[in-house]
Structure 1
Amino acid sequence: MKSRNKFRVMSTVALVATFVMAGAGVAIADESSSGSSGSGSLGSSGAAEVDPLTFDGWGTCPIEDLEVTTCASVVVRGGTMKLGALSVPIPDGSLKVAGGVKYATQPDNSFIETFVAKQDGSNGVYSNPISVPGGALGIDTPLGLTQISATVESVGVPDLKVLEQELTMPVRLKLSNPLLGDDCYIGSVSNPINLHLTTTGNPPSEPIGEFPGAVFPAVPHSDAVFAAPGASGCGPLGALNWAVNLRGGVPAASGKNSLTTSSDVYAVAARKVRPPA
């Protein structure tokens, strides 16, 4: 995969290296989407629509860490997740990965990127519940009695590579319905869904207003090789795990699942985010 991306990465390095040498950082699109605990809430999905190439807040960048030179965020604008028999559309504004990036220069002048999440309990992943089409029975019923919502929760700090437009993160999917209780998950802390999202080509960038940074709009990401574990904690003492497994077609081995997204990836100088000394 590294060889596949080599040409694209080298053509991107010049841009991002400029940010780094200037004390660059990554933007946080839409401050209203910042969360403070759990999976990290993105805020109300009914918020006023904004220009996808602008942003107005920096609350998810760990600027208190002076080694962070870039503030970065991946704002998912749409996509689809398929887990076994489940196919769940991902609407605009339902998922964001945001934090800071530290860089170290190697003897060959290449960079090592380290993603750093803000210490707010989110692991740098901020999400809103997503409605599962068909609910618990696979069909929509009157009054939504079988409706299920799914929320992506991070179980570890993601690995975001701005230079290569790659995102790796271990997650679990929380399923919410009155019958399922509050601890129904596909995936767990010890056995997560391990996502590794990559792109192809050389995504073009655009400037972000007066900030020393850039946005890579509508970057296509995909992963079709991750496995999906079975359900746990669904219903009293896990009594409905079997029903969730049957409905979702999980556990599902690698090759039976996929995630495709279109995201705006922001990178802005952290020095511009920090308040004046």
Structure 2
Amino acid sequence: MRPVLKSWRTGLLAAAATAALVVPVIASPAGAAAAAPQLNGNWAPFNRCPVDAPAMLATDGDSEIALCVTSTSPSGTIKLGNTTATTGATNLQFGVVQHPAEGTYSVVPPAAGSIISDRTTIPGGLIGLMCPSDIPFVTSICNQITNGTLNKVTATVESAGAPKDFDLVAGLSSGPIVSLPIRIHLENPFLGSGCYLGSSSNPIVLHPGNLSQPELGVTLFDPNGATNPEGSLIQFALTGASQGDSTFSVPKSSGCGLGGLLNGVLDLKTGLPAGSGKNNLVLNNASTYTVGLTAPGAVVPDAGKILSDNWHSAVK
């Protein structure tokens, strides 16, 4: 095996553990998955890594080191107040710039967003969220819900700010790993297009952490993705773990219905606002992969550009 700088190896292990999380997205950003290329071999999980982002390309391999991170979960659950929804398969991808001297990391998200996932609907739909009601105009809406289209409520998790507060020690153990500000977009013909739980100014902030200890695997491979014990790229895999959080709060809804008339009805039925301990996130069997150059210090100052070239050489 080629020599690996101690600070780089320690940092990559920490980054892999830190990134062992998936935000529960309940609907996919349009076209995000379709636009991503397919990659060969060990590069395959990293098809949305922002290797061409200026911050990634500028890394020299010494003071700054570029990494690609991806994390997936086949299923999970999220409880918001009195409402619990099952999440489908989720995928989180982003780049990371490691600053070895400071022991810090900067997240570099893909241009189209970090998160995609299978679509899931809210159990019970609009009837479950606000019916029955003794408010006349709400009762009128409930009486109009005569088919699945009018009743169906879908939800999309959207970014409400940049991730922050990485804790590398927690990534290898059981504490909060990172703070992720999000908002949840609820959609239904009666709710309109501006119905949200959380906002950019008052987000839901998730603090996911490991619920079980992941298994660690290491693979070296060539720029084209083929496994090679002497390869110039190294991949760390953390598998078989679950992540979760029960400490986050959920604010009142906003923008639901014409002029926000349905905000109070939704809040009353779903128990919002809901403080810490009344909400819960569980992500099952998450698998996280982190990749970078085996010896970035050997290719200073072009490490970021070389990582990008390697990624592009693996595109099918």
Scaled by the length of structure 2, what TM-score is found? Answer: 0.64
How many Å separate the matches in 2 of 1:15 and 1:84? Answer: 45
Aligned to 1:77: 74
How many Å separate the matches in 2 of 1:25 and 1:199? Answer: 12
How many Å separate the matches in 2 of 1:180 and 1:15? Answer: 54
Say how many residue pairs are matched: 237
- After superposition, where does 1:103-142 map in structure 2 within 5 Å? 103-106=98-101, 111-120=103-112, 122=113, 124-138=114-128, 142=147
State the 1:257 CA deviation: 0.6
Classify the secondary structure of the residue corresponding to 2:121: strand
State the 1:239 CA deviation: 1.2
Task: Tell me which of 232, 236, 244 is aligned to 1:222.
Answer: 244
State the 1:42 CA deviation: 5.3
- Identical counterparts, % of pairs: 27
State the 1:116 CA deviation: 1.5
Instruction: Decide which moves more: 223-232 or 208-217.
Output: 208-217
Alpha-carbon RMSD: 3.5
Change (3 A) 1:141 1:232: same
State the 1:246 CA deviation: 2.5
Larger relative contact order (C-alpha < 8 A, sep ≥ 6)?
A: 2
Matched, 1:193 2:188: no
Change (3 A) 1:56 1:102: closer
How many Å separate the matches in 2 of 1:63 and 1:245? Answer: 43
Matched, 1:251 2:251: no
How many Å separate the matches in 2 of 1:113 and 1:235? Answer: 41
Q: Is the 8 A contact 1:185 1:231 kept in 2?
A: yes
Aligned to 1:8: none
Aligned to 2:309: 275
Given residue 113 of structure 1, which amino acid in structure 2 is its aligned partner? Y
Aligned to 1:30: none
Q: Is the 8 A contact 2:127 2:151 kept in 1?
A: yes
- After superposition, where does 1:1-277 map in structure 2 within 5 Å? 17-18=8-9, 43=33, 55-64=44-53, 65-66=56-57, 67=59, 69-92=66-89, 95-106=90-101, 111-120=103-112, 122=113, 124-138=114-128, 142-159=147-164, 164-165=170-171, 166-200=177-211, 202-207=213-218, 210=227, 212-262=234-284, 263-269=286-292, 273-275=307-309
Given residue 309 of structure 2, which amino acid in structure 1 is its aligned partner? P
Given residue 100 of structure 1, which amino acid in structure 2 is its aligned partner? G
Given residue 75 of structure 1, which amino acid in structure 2 is its aligned partner? T
Scaled by the length of structure 1, what TM-score is found? Answer: 0.72
After superposition, the C-alpha distances for 1:226-268 in whole angstroms (9 at most, x for unaligned) are: 1100100111111111222133221111111111112211101
Unaligned runs of 5+ in 2: 18-27, 35-41, 60-64, 130-144, 172-176, 222-226, 228-232, 294-303
Change (3 A) 1:56 1:80: closer
Q: Is the 8 A contact 1:39 1:152 kept in 2?
A: no
Given residue 18 of structure 1, which amino acid in structure 2 is its aligned partner? R
More helix per residue: 1 or 2? Answer: 2
Bigger Rg, which one: 2
State the 1:273 CA deviation: 4.8
Change (3 A) 1:268 1:40: farther
Given residue 59 of structure 1, which amino acid in structure 2 is its aligned partner? R
How many Å separate the matches in 2 of 1:16 and 1:173? Answer: 38
How many Å separate the matches in 2 of 1:126 and 1:227? Answer: 23
More strand per residue: 1 or 2? Answer: 1
State the 1:16 CA deviation: 8.8
State the 1:84 CA deviation: 0.4
Unaligned runs of 5+ in 1: 1-13, 27-37, 45-52
Q: Is the 8 A contact 2:253 2:267 kept in 1?
A: yes
Classify the secondary structure of the residue corresponding to 2:267: helix
State the 1:170 CA deviation: 0.2
